[in-house]
Amino acid sequence: MNIIFRATAFNLLLAFILAIPRICIAQQQSYPIIFMGSKFDIEFETKQVADGEGVEARLLGRGSKRSIFVAIYEPDGGSTPRIVSAFTNGRKLRKLFVIVAWGVDAPALNTGGSIYQVFIYDEKLDVSNGDSHLHEDISLGKRFGIGFDGVREGRKVTYKYKNASAVRRQLILWNYR
């Protein structure tokens, strides 16, 4: 039995809607982690910022009202950031890793894919204006760099640190424990 789809306006609209990439994360995501010697939930929440929708990250203490600000990931090029992964690594000096991606779509340049960045935070707190937030380990983050994964000007490009397992493998190669 053959099924025939007619190119009606409704079918074309439905196909268009289904083909739209989902660039906006859910309003709120929460994941359990152990960090700073305690059980936390790391929560990601969509926030309106000057350039569009960003994502705010916070650590929420389990069973308490303790909240520690991590960061706000800003939109880039009109693209809402997408949280790819959040995990901790290390033994004595644990670090929090957050992998963020931004969608890129420039058909005129034959370019499409995602820009990735690995953000890394120490277990120590910085205080500014009376508010505490996690200290970002910028030097370790620079070692991972910012990378593109997709098609750039017609050529396939791969960023190797786009998931937790790739980041963990690289940390082992760097003898980071």
Closest CA to 98 of 122, 76, 80, 75: 122
Q: What six digits make up the tokens of 144? A: 């991972």
Per-residue pLDDT at 133: 92
> What is the CA angle 165-162-29, rounded to 5?
90
Query: Residue 102's Cα: distance from chain center in Å?
Result: 8
Per-residue pLDDT at 127: 86
Per-residue pLDDT at 78: 86
Per-residue pLDDT at 90: 82
Per-residue pLDDT at 13: 39
The whole-model pTM stands at 0.81
Per-residue pLDDT at 57: 97
Would you give per-residue pLDDT tens digits along the chain (177 residues)? Answer: 444 444 454 444 334 434 433 334 446 788 899 898 888 999 999 999 998 999 999 999 887 777 899 999 999 988 999 999 999 998 777 899 999 999 999 988 989 999 999 999 999 898 888 788 999 999 999 999 999 999 999 999 999 999 999 999 999 999 887
Per-residue pLDDT at 162: 96
Per-residue pLDDT at 168: 96
Domain spans in the chain, listed from the N-terminal domain onward: 22-173
Is residue 15 packed enough to be buried (19+ CB in 10 Å), middle (13-18) or exposed (0-12)? exposed
Q: What six digits make up the tokens of 9? A: 């306006």
Q: d(Cα 125, Cα 134) in Å, to the nearest integer?
A: 5
Per-residue pLDDT at 27: 64
